[in-house]
Amino acid sequence: MFQVGFWEELKKLGIISKQARQWEETVTKLNNIKEITPQVPAKTFLGNLRSYQQDGLSWLYFLRNYSLGGILVDDMGLGKTVQTMFLEMMPEHKKIYDLHLARERQRVLGLMAEGGLTKNRFDILKSLTIMRQLCLHPQLVDAKHKNVPSAKIEALTEHIGLLVAQNHKVLIFSQFTSFLALAKEVLDKAKLAYLYLDGGTKDRGKLVKDFQNGGAQVFLISLKAGGFGLNLTEADFCMNNVSLLSVFATSRYIPFLKFALGLADLCT
């Protein structure tokens, strides 16, 4: 949830001058676009694209040409996925978020003015972490908000139910073990079996083996504790908090996926 005013204030402080110039150049180009140019598949492609697949291909080319990020959903649960992509916070959740946003915004601007990122890196990152947690569920910041409805949690419930019903095997990553605890509550309520790995896990090898051999369809993993070298070749979907990615994973892709999902987590 980006705040244009916040961006302008950072520009005035000289913190993001290069990024600001790049963004302004991109916006100028985008303002002159009338439509997305249709793209033709590579000659090596053997097959016929449906109309929506053709639109998706053109959209991805458009994003690449303008150095923009984006998500292209597939037709598995398309309606639900699109709804999740454009998810808005529920009113009570948004009220709490906006209150903290105003507070942390002033805090960060004050820190930047006093000593900048070099002197206050820890405190600034702390403020950003609080806002990322609030995006997921306000309970992650203050336990008194436990009963506040969260669209993210509802989306998680919907995704997991759909994937498990279709016999998929899912990895759920998060930097926040507090969010994984909420995911456990969702799975317990739905009576779905799962495996869990965080910094306190003793026998990682056994959990991985259980997942590979069908012990559970869902594996909750702390990004920090997961590390590298997890052989989870049976997984075909990953979720970073709520963001859904079809990966058809092989063991050599797992470190990359966790890195990519970790970057995605920054935008949560």
User: How far apart, in whole angstroms, are the C-alpha atoms of residue 70 and residue 64?
Assistant: 9
Which residues 6+ apart lie within 8 Å of 30 measured at CB?
66
CB 148 within 8 A of CB 136: no
Rounded distance between C-alpha atoms, residue 3 and residue 20, angstroms? 14
Of 219, 222, 223, the C-alpha closest to 260 is 223
Task: Name the residue among 123, 149, 154, 126 with its Cα closest to residue 138.
Answer: 149
The residue among 49, 28, 29, 27 whose CA lies nearest residue 39 is 49
| Residue 57 near residue 49 (C-beta atoms within 8 A) | yes
Q: In sequence order, what DSSP letters do the residues of 17-40 get, joined into one string?
A: HHHHHHHHHHHHHHHT--SPPP-P
Dihedral over Cα of 91, 95, 101, 104: its sign: negative
User: d(Cα 99, Cα 255) in Å, to the nearest integer?
Assistant: 37
Q: DSSP of 80-142, one letter per residue?
A: HHHHHHT----HHHHHHHHHHHHHHHHHHHHHHHHTHHHHHHHHHHHHHHHHHHHHH-GGGT-
Query: pTM of this prediction?
Result: 0.61
What pLDDT sits at residue 260?
Answer: 41
- Here the tokens at position 108 are 């960060």
Q: CB 66: neighbour CB atoms within 10 A?
A: 13
In the three-class reduction of DSSP (H, G, I as helix; E, B as strand; rest coil), residue 243 is classed as: strand
Q: Which residues of the chain have pLDDT under 50?
A: 1-2, 75-86, 246-268
Give the sign of the dihedral formed by CA 42, CA 44, CA 49, CA 52: negative
What are phi and psi for residue 198, nearest 5 degrees?
-140, -165
